[in-house]
Amino acid sequence: MIFDPATDKPQDECGVFGLYSPTPNDLAWLTYLGLFALQHRGQEAAGMCVSDGDRFHVDKDLGLVTQVFDERRLDGLRLPNARVSIGHVRYSTTGSNLRFNAQPLTTRTNKGILGLAHNGNFVNAREVRSGMLMEGALFQTTNDSEVMLNLIARESHMDLVEATASAMKELKGGYACVLMSRTQLLGFRDPHGVRPLVIGQRDDGAWVLASEPCALYAVGARLIRDVQPGELVWFDREGLHSLMVEPKRPTPCSFEWIYFARSDGELDGVDIHESRLRMGAQLAREKPIEADIVVPVPDSGIGAAIGYARESGIPFDYGLYKNPYAGRTFIAPTQEARELKVKMKLSPTSAVRGRRVVLVDDSIVRGTTSRQIVNLLREAGATEVHFRVSSPPITHPCFYGIDTAARKELVASTHSIEEIRALIGADTLAFISERGLREAIGGSGLCGACFTGEYPAGTPLLNDVDKLALEV
Amino acid sequence: MIFDPATDKPQDECGVFGLYSPTPNDLAWLTYLGLFALQHRGQEAAGMCVSDGDRFHVDKDLGLVTQVFDERRLDGLRLPNARVSIGHVRYSTTGSNLRFNAQPLTTRTNKGILGLAHNGNFVNAREVRSGMLMEGALFQTTNDSEVMLNLIARESHMDLVEATASAMKELKGGYACVLMSRTQLLGFRDPHGVRPLVIGQRDDGAWVLASEPCALYAVGARLIRDVQPGELVWFDREGLHSLMVEPKRPTPCSFEWIYFARSDGELDGVDIHESRLRMGAQLAREKPIEADIVVPVPDSGIGAAIGYARESGIPFDYGLYKNPYAGRTFIAPTQEARELKVKMKLSPTSAVRGRRVVLVDDSIVRGTTSRQIVNLLREAGATEVHFRVSSPPITHPCFYGIDTAARKELVASTHSIEEIRALIGADTLAFISERGLREAIGGSGLCGACFTGEYPAGTPLLNDVDKLALEV
Amino acid sequence: MIFDPATDKPQDECGVFGLYSPTPNDLAWLTYLGLFALQHRGQEAAGMCVSDGDRFHVDKDLGLVTQVFDERRLDGLRLPNARVSIGHVRYSTTGSNLRFNAQPLTTRTNKGILGLAHNGNFVNAREVRSGMLMEGALFQTTNDSEVMLNLIARESHMDLVEATASAMKELKGGYACVLMSRTQLLGFRDPHGVRPLVIGQRDDGAWVLASEPCALYAVGARLIRDVQPGELVWFDREGLHSLMVEPKRPTPCSFEWIYFARSDGELDGVDIHESRLRMGAQLAREKPIEADIVVPVPDSGIGAAIGYARESGIPFDYGLYKNPYAGRTFIAPTQEARELKVKMKLSPTSAVRGRRVVLVDDSIVRGTTSRQIVNLLREAGATEVHFRVSSPPITHPCFYGIDTAARKELVASTHSIEEIRALIGADTLAFISERGLREAIGGSGLCGACFTGEYPAGTPLLNDVDKLALEV
Amino acid sequence: MIFDPATDKPQDECGVFGLYSPTPNDLAWLTYLGLFALQHRGQEAAGMCVSDGDRFHVDKDLGLVTQVFDERRLDGLRLPNARVSIGHVRYSTTGSNLRFNAQPLTTRTNKGILGLAHNGNFVNAREVRSGMLMEGALFQTTNDSEVMLNLIARESHMDLVEATASAMKELKGGYACVLMSRTQLLGFRDPHGVRPLVIGQRDDGAWVLASEPCALYAVGARLIRDVQPGELVWFDREGLHSLMVEPKRPTPCSFEWIYFARSDGELDGVDIHESRLRMGAQLAREKPIEADIVVPVPDSGIGAAIGYARESGIPFDYGLYKNPYAGRTFIAPTQEARELKVKMKLSPTSAVRGRRVVLVDDSIVRGTTSRQIVNLLREAGATEVHFRVSSPPITHPCFYGIDTAARKELVASTHSIEEIRALIGADTLAFISERGLREAIGGSGLCGACFTGEYPAGTPLLNDVDKLALEV
């Protein structure tokens, strides 16, 4: 049995990246750096395509960016006069045969060769796909990008930008996409801006699109602005073009600030690290407790723990050592896997011995990991463990690209907070309030569907098993 | 530099295989055996798909059958109640990024999931593809199978058999295909039967399709008959169905008997080994010579050499040792590659020392290898070398799935036989006559386009570089 | 070019692990867990051997523990009735041909088959080896363990324990070793206890030896005590035996507390995490500064930074994001490697913007990384950067198993502190004093040779290039 | 289950190769070519070492020559001024952990670094090893080369040539070795010359040692002579030196002519191919039969089959197709493995249909494969199958480096010829006589221990299980 010890967290599905360079550039190398910076958004597969206006190279495979692109394979993509490129990292699953679902998806169309990579989910993809199948379309993957590409190709009388705008109107959901032809780079974000996409520029004039600012910095670009909800941007020799296709009330995903996004950036004008400090402070105000130290669950709880410590005046300490090699898969006999998973990753330090501990984490999904961490702290001599969570209870699944879990697996959808507390064995348990979270993040609107069940960008019509599924 | 020492031969492009089993069978395993028997028809890539009527699994990759399908990957395809499967081996090239062109190609369509694998070539694929692109189709590969699948999917009002028959009428060229849905196996051969396809059956009732009989024997099936030129056959619970879609004058490829097909089978009623003996005998009658021994270029010249020896009365001997490991790629510095290539593969035995040698090979393409073999024999002490070839001079390229070489590289298209003789350094050089070849093979008709330039199944309209090519 | 971004740190050379189980146990699996916990001590190679009293299996290779031991290879070591095992992880280098130097080293001797793994260095290994070569010994590796094994085998009249004690007396330096025969586990530590070794026991009675307590916890054992400097311990059916072979003044390596050891343990009675908090506090007292926030260089500066923040009252903050995937090797063009190295690993958060920052790190070796981190902070808007180091300046190389760097590369051996400050571009730079460090760690004695040049366990006699070196 | 279909043959254990070049040469590349030519002598592992007089590089691993030495690893051995090199290929087993037993074995000694590779077996290795263990020697492998190296190193007062001669006197058995220091190449053959070793020279003056002449030809060298039984040769700047250490009655292994050696060479003055023709002719005279065709079991039976056909006047034909990919391991379910093994490798052609077949093979070990081949021929329509074997019945195991099988597995040691005939299902079965074989090979003496039980070079004293065995 192979397992990944880093679990029981909401899982982002993907990161996207794109480059348009008015002058020849080593785009394969820059895309490699950009994807490396976005690696936390997806560990299952990585891919990129690069064009010099004539040739159009693509390579992708299962694995981390550094595993897929060894020197030989990266060299195979290094076109000397490259102008356009896109890249993609995909989330981690245990499936090993999903090779052919890796992105970018590339295809020849009546608009020339196109490459597309997306983050997020189209909630009506199945309906659209069914209709196109009836019209004679082929679907070689189970990848939503293929639906988008079919929609674009179908509009044979339109140019690429028009056809893309038309496809944006047809597909519902939360998504951010990068799309390239031999000579253009396009990027677009769903009408509510649920998934993030930022624009950057390098000093040499090259334009960059990425899921997060960290990938801009990685290639020496500065943050210009976010792509707006419902906006379609494209880059060619003339520079940056923009079309507001279908903007609606912005509701970016709150979990980007809670957990997904790297703390060294900002999204939609809100700094990630600072918002986490504010979540922690808010939590301290909402759910105070008398204790000796504040301990984060590393690394995702660090920001909120510092905020909690500062607001409460309780000293921050490093009470859980995190094994930096724990992200790597390792062998585990089934029966022991549960306990080992956490134990090989996290280990208490002497800081917790004889102390009343406030343990701060960003979220609780199933609760299994939380129980084991509480247990580890108690075994190490913590006299009290007060669990504080910088997100509200997760009660509903996400349909916009986040793999939380089936609803019945979400501990907060079936248990009261007191029941969860008992389950994980904490002395007290408290979550930040939804209102408190919105205040801590700030901004005009947020998607909190997983806390509230209110889905701003719609839900799938068909929930039955996809009978057309091609198992590859 | 990596090279394959086994070159300067016409190169078959593929082998196909299919199974329909009325009762549950271990089809992944049987398909593995069938593909292993067809390995000589393609060494670049291997793949298969298997269905149990519900699930539809596919796996494919670059490499030999035994390299692609290790135990783990084969196990991933072993559906307990499998009913239908197809498989494919693809020819050897040096390209390493052609992973996504491997077959079978699988796709969801309005006729359910389909898997298709083909051997051969559609000469009008580009025109058909261009038209469909304009209608909004996507082409994700440069694989002709994708054109066939689009044609089948386009006929949304027809069932799978009707739509396949319709597609057969639209595509021209020389081909043999296996096609599967979750519940049916189909096979079809071009109107002239240029590429081979045979039908077999196991004692347990399972039906088998394969490029050659050896693959039937490998899975314990007996040869029932050849698929007829222009025939579409399909298998379901009721058994074998047949439809003559567009039969024309049969002209199977003569090179299957000369070189490609394994000597342990028969195609279109003509035994491979016996036809080679007859070619050698014919050659001895047409082009006799006084000599001491007849030596084959192993392994492809063995049959004709035995035939030549028997007819001429000159003793057969084993004058060239063939290194069984020479098929494996090995490293070679560029400057030495030419000479090394042959030298590491073939080595003269003492049989040729002081002897007048009749050297028998099946064909000469560029002539470079032939020159080196003649040279090896002379260095080993052969006093005379008389080169005899069991095919006529190759003067034209093949458009039906054989990678001969560009026309200008075909030594016989630009040189007289006397010039070739001088080039390869033989004392005499003679080829079998076209008429003699036809007599030796027998049968009603043969494609000899590469000798005559007469293409029974048409030629491509567009010969310019495919500007839509997606380099993957 | 391949590089490991995690550099410019002293590099520990190895971790060792051993098990003796009075009852049959899954020792391969337990050793795997123990080595996984010790992975931070060596990433180049991993190995283990296991015996059931009769069979003696060994496997080792280049790579991380989880890379070397996939399921198949671990299964090959899982003897059902295993009683004794040892394991080893080796430090990271770029060499790829060092496969045959991996440990444990196994050999047949007149005392039966033995397996040996060591951490540290024998300073007189070359002299001893030269003498034994003259007597007819073979040396198949450049591994010091082989010298120890030859010494043990040479004493053919002694039993294993006596011969090991004899060898301990002959070899000088700083080392900790685990040694096994088919039925015994031995462990020993150099006379000064420079390198660590701890003893643990599981509830089922199994005895454990490990470089650090974390490996005991990983296999469910509790810490019993440290092996004493100069002590030889061994385990058999009767339990734990001890012999004080040559105890001298204990001088354990101070860098175990400063940097190497995981913060979730204690060595020689001194808790790692607490000692780091004390180092930070001591540094704050010795080298105070007026500033807005205290920022650690993650992860190694965290403990000292918390200590500094608490003592100084300046808020602790998370000012540098560390990419958890940065430990993986990635491709870098030579010219850009320097800057990229740090940039892809560390990225400033908004915490430093407009702030006066106290930056806390554990050590400075060459200073190159430090300069880049300071630069990153300034680019991110830090108004002042005050660099504080929780170790004294490193001025001398280590001869006891730590790969610092050649003396001329140690920036502090050739530059004044003011020169280093200018070099790294900090506003102020200060190191903990040697006395302050000793107080912070506590304990009776410490090896601080790299700060002072006083080598308690001797230095190598011969420094010229080893002319006998076998390059493998 | 993984199996190699090419079995039921005596298995040679190794091939050795060595080069001494008075001028700088690309010895790694030449050694690669030499080993490639010797690949038939061992498929389990390959290795080489190269020296330029100063550096001494070695690399080796499990796999074929072309698998072990990819471009990167070969480049790692390409010293610009290389003067001396040796190489080794090792026989095929299914064990996967035997990595550390690969050759050449390299070690530092009082005579500098040495590399040794051997073919064959020392029958008193265990006694010698036991004695040296008592004196304090380490044995890190179960490789006999290590015993030889210990003997050489023990004579610390002698130079390398003297010490090697001394070691030759001490070790008994059948062997051929190549040995190198930084500046010398040595080669030696056991007193009876059981295992072969030939000397060649290139036009540029470089000296070559190899198990067979084919490896000389592969590097552009001509055959000078065989190393004599009991002779030690060495090469340095002055050229070729020779010392007759302990010559005894020459008894080279008869199986080199029967089966092992490539047919494109000669050993001890006797041409391989011609001797096989003579064996076939002798067999035809000794054991005539009325039949329609003579069919070889390819490839090893070809020479004898041609000889048989010529002498008998019965036509030779190619009745069994051999799949050139059958040497590659493939997956097989245990229960079917037996039949599949032969079926996937050999397939009858139409030549045997309705014919009385003389089937010629070189040997029968267990008889299982023979039974299946006979069965295949009958199923294909052969009316009679007359089995003729060009070696006498194998009744005794080989102790000189050939892996026949345990005695009880040798079908001829427990069954009469008539019983074997019944077992394999042939109409008649006949072996060449021992006298006939000796006449066919010619030469002064031959080792036929496996036919006669007379072991010219001694037998092992200790046959019990080696209790010191290190399982790696």
Q: Dump pLDDT digits (tens) for C417-466.
A: 999 999 999 999 999 999 999 999 997 789 999 999 999 999 887 543 33
D366: confidence class by pLDDT, cuts 50, 70, 90: confident
Which residue in the block uniquely carries the two structure tokens 């040279």?
Answer: B375
ipTM over 0.85? The verdict is yes
Report the C-alpha gap between B175 and D134 in whole angstroms.
Answer: 73
Report the C-alpha gap between A148 and A125 in whole angstroms.
Answer: 9
Q: Which conformational region is residue A312 in: left (phi greater than 0), alpha (psi within -120 to 50 degrees), or beta?
A: alpha
- The rounded percent of chain A whose pLDDT value lies above 90 is 77
Residues 99-128 of D with CB under 8 A from C: 100, 105-110, 112-113
Q: Which of C31, C35, C36 to mutate to test the interface with A (most CBs of A within 10 A)?
A: C36
What tokens does D8 get? 């039921």
Chain B residue at shortest CA distance from D264: B349
- Per-residue pLDDT, C3: 30
For the residues A417-441, what does the mean pLDDT come to?
A: 97
D–B touching, 3+ CB–CB pairs within 8 Å: yes
Q: Which of D263, D275, D343, D379 to mutate to test the interface with B (most CBs of B within 10 A)?
A: D263
Are the Cβ atoms of D134 and C156 closer than 8 angstroms?
yes
Query: Between C and D, how many residue pairs show a Cβ–Cβ distance under 8 A?
Result: 107
Q: Do B202 and B217 contact (CB within 8 A), yes or no?
A: no
Domains of chain D: 2-251 (3.60.20.10), 271-444 (3.40.50.2020)
Residue C469 has pLDDT above 50, yes or no: no
Are the Cβ atoms of C66 and A271 closer than 8 angstroms?
no
Q: Please, which residues bridge with residue C108 across strands?
A: C113, D139
With beta carbons under 8 A apart, name residues in chain B contacting D330. Answer: 32, 36, 65-66
Residue B155 has pLDDT above 70, yes or no: yes
Q: Do C449 and C398 contact (CB within 8 A), yes or no?
A: yes
CA distance C10 to chain D (A): 29
Are the Cβ atoms of C325 and A299 closer than 8 angstroms?
no
- Per-residue pLDDT, C472: 32
Report the C-alpha gap between C457 and C248 in whole angstroms.
Answer: 10
Q: Where are the alpha helices (DSSP H) in B175-301?
A: 213-218, 255, 272-286
Chain A residue at shortest CA distance from C319: A264
State residue B337 phi and psi, 5-degree precision.
-55, -45
Say if residue C398 carries a ligand binding annotation.
yes
Report the C-alpha gap between A432 and C390 in whole angstroms.
Answer: 37
Are the Cβ atoms of A66 and C262 closer than 8 angstroms?
no
Q: Do B174 and B192 contact (CB within 8 A), yes or no?
A: yes
Please give the positions of C annotated as active site.
14
Residue D467 has pLDDT above 80, yes or no: no
For the residues D234-251, what does the mean pLDDT come to?
A: 95
- The rounded percent of chain C whose pLDDT value lies above 70 is 89
Q: Which of B214, B274, B324 sits opposite D350 (nearest CB)?
A: B274
User: What is the Cβ-side half-sphere exposure of residue C449, based on CA atoms within 13 angstroms?
Assistant: 22
Mean pLDDT across chain B:
90
Counted residue by residue, chain D has a size of 472
Q: Which of D71, D273, D277, D352 to mutate to test the interface with B (most CBs of B within 10 A)?
A: D273
Residues 339-368 of A with CB under 8 A from C: 340, 343-344, 347-351
Q: Does D95 touch chain C (CB under 8 A)?
A: no
CA distance C457 to chain A (A): 31
Mean pLDDT across chain D:
90
Q: Please, which residues bridge with residue C429 across strands?
A: C387
Task: Tell me which of D7 and D419 has the higher pLDDT.
Answer: D419
Report the C-alpha gap between C294 and C272 in whole angstroms.
Answer: 21
- Per-residue pLDDT, B463: 47
For the residues C134-151, what does the mean pLDDT come to?
A: 92
Say if residue B49 carries a ligand binding annotation.
no
Report the C-alpha gap between D366 and D376 in whole angstroms.
Answer: 18
Report the C-alpha gap between A370 and A366 in whole angstroms.
Answer: 8
Q: Do A331 and C69 contact (CB within 8 A), yes or no?
A: yes
Closest CA to D30 of D219, D221, D235: D219
Are the Cβ atoms of D340 and B33 closer than 8 angstroms?
yes
Closest CA to A390 of A265, A262, A284: A284
Q: Does A325 touch chain C (CB under 8 A)?
A: yes
Q: Which helix (H) or strand (E) holds B121?
A: strand B112-122
Are the Cβ atoms of A470 and B138 closer than 8 angstroms?
no
Residue C471 has pLDDT above 50, yes or no: no
D–C touching, 3+ CB–CB pairs within 8 Å: yes
The residues, ordered by sequence, that sit 6+ positions from D13 with a Cβ below 8 Å of its Cβ are: D41, D42, D90, D91, D119, D120, D121, D401, D402, D403
- Per-residue pLDDT, D404: 59
Which residue in the block uniquely carries the two structure tokens 């039976």?
Answer: D301
With beta carbons under 8 A apart, name residues in chain C contacting A279. Answer: none
Report the C-alpha gap between D354 and C460 in whole angstroms.
Answer: 83
Range among A4-8, A28-32, C337-341 with highest mean pLDDT value: A28-32
Global confidence as pTM: 0.90
What tokens does C55 get? 């069979």
Say if residue A416 carries a ligand binding annotation.
no
A20 residue type, one letter = Y
Task: Tell me which of B398 and A49 has the higher pLDDT.
Answer: A49
For the residues A174-181, what does the mean pLDDT come to?
A: 97
State residue A345 phi and psi, 5-degree precision.
-95, -45
- Per-residue pLDDT, C464: 37
Q: How would you write chain C as a 3-class SS string?
A: CEECCCCCCCEECEEEEEEECCCCCCHHHHHHHHHHHCHHHCCCEEEEEEECCCCEEEEEEECCHHHHCCHHHHHCCCCCCCCEEEEEEECCCCCCCHHHHCCCEEEEEECEEEEEEEEEEECCHHHHHHHHHHCCCCECCCCHHHHHHHHHHHCCCCCHHHHHHHHHHHCCEEEEEEEECCCCEEEEECCCCCCCCEEEEECCCCEEEECCHHHHHHCCEEEEEECCCCEEEEEECCEEEEEECCCCCCCCECHHHHHHCCCCCEECCEEHHHHHHHHHHHHHHHCCCCCCEEEECCCCCHHHHHHHHHHHCCCECCCEEECCCCCCCEECCHHHHHHHHHHHHEEECHHHCCCEEEEEECCCCCCHHHHHHHHHHHHCCCCEEEEEECCCCCCCCCCCCEECCCHHHCHHHHCCHHHHHHHHCCCEEEECCHHHHHHHHCCCCCECHHHHCCCCCCCCCCCCCCCCCCEC
Which residue in the block uniquely carries the two structure tokens 């055959």?
Answer: D223
Residue A337 has pLDDT above 80, yes or no: no
Query: Between A and C, how many residue pairs show a Cβ–Cβ distance under 8 A?
Result: 134
Q: Does A387 touch chain C (CB under 8 A)?
A: no
Q: How does pLDDT run across B20-72, given as a tens digit for each residue?
A: 999 999 999 999 999 999 999 988 899 999 999 999 999 999 889 999 999 88
Residues 209-248 of B with CB under 8 A from D: 214, 217-218
Q: Does A470 touch chain B (CB under 8 A)?
A: yes
Residue B448 has pLDDT above 90, yes or no: yes
Closest CA to C404 of C364, C359, C452, C459: C364
Q: How does pLDDT run across A103-150, given as a tens digit for each residue?
A: 999 999 999 999 999 999 899 998 999 999 999 999 998 888 899 999
Beta strands C14-20 and C84-90, pairing class: antiparallel
With beta carbons under 8 A apart, name residues in chain D contacting B27. Answer: none
- Per-residue pLDDT, C62: 87
Mean pLDDT across chain C:
90
Q: What's the farthest any 2 CA atoms get from each other in chain B?
A: 73
- Per-residue pLDDT, C160: 97
Report the C-alpha gap between B398 and B413 in whole angstroms.
Answer: 13
What DSSP designation does B38 have? T
Are the Cβ atoms of C316 and A328 closer than 8 angstroms?
no
With beta carbons under 8 A apart, name residues in chain D contacting B272. Answer: 349-350
Chain B residue at shortest CA distance from A109: B138
- Per-residue pLDDT, A38: 96
- Per-residue pLDDT, C8: 61
Residue A435 has pLDDT above 90, yes or no: yes
Residue C189 has pLDDT above 90, yes or no: yes
Beta strands B384-389 and B356-361, pairing class: parallel
Residues 63-82 of C with CB under 8 A from A: 64-66, 69-71, 74
Q: Do C168 and C193 contact (CB within 8 A), yes or no?
A: no
Q: Do B9 and B300 contact (CB within 8 A), yes or no?
A: yes
Are the Cβ atoms of C273 and A329 closer than 8 angstroms?
no
The residues, ordered by sequence, that sit 6+ positions from C56 with a Cβ below 8 Å of its Cβ are: C49, C50, C106, C113, C115, C182, D470, D471
CA distance A35 to chain C (A): 11
Q: Do B214 and B168 contact (CB within 8 A), yes or no?
A: no
Is B177 marked active-site?
no
Query: Between A and B, how many residue pairs show a Cβ–Cβ distance under 8 A?
Result: 109
Q: Does D310 touch chain B (CB under 8 A)?
A: yes
Report the C-alpha gap between C427 and D407 in whole angstroms.
Answer: 83
- Per-residue pLDDT, B327: 66
Q: Which of C218, C273, C325 sits opposite A36 (nearest CB)?
A: C325
Distances (CA, A) of A43 to A258, A401, B207, C331, C346: 20, 15, 43, 18, 19
Residues 283-302 of C with CB under 8 A from A: 299, 302
Residue D263 has pLDDT above 60, yes or no: yes
Which residue in the block uniquely carries the two structure tokens 């390229």?
Answer: B397
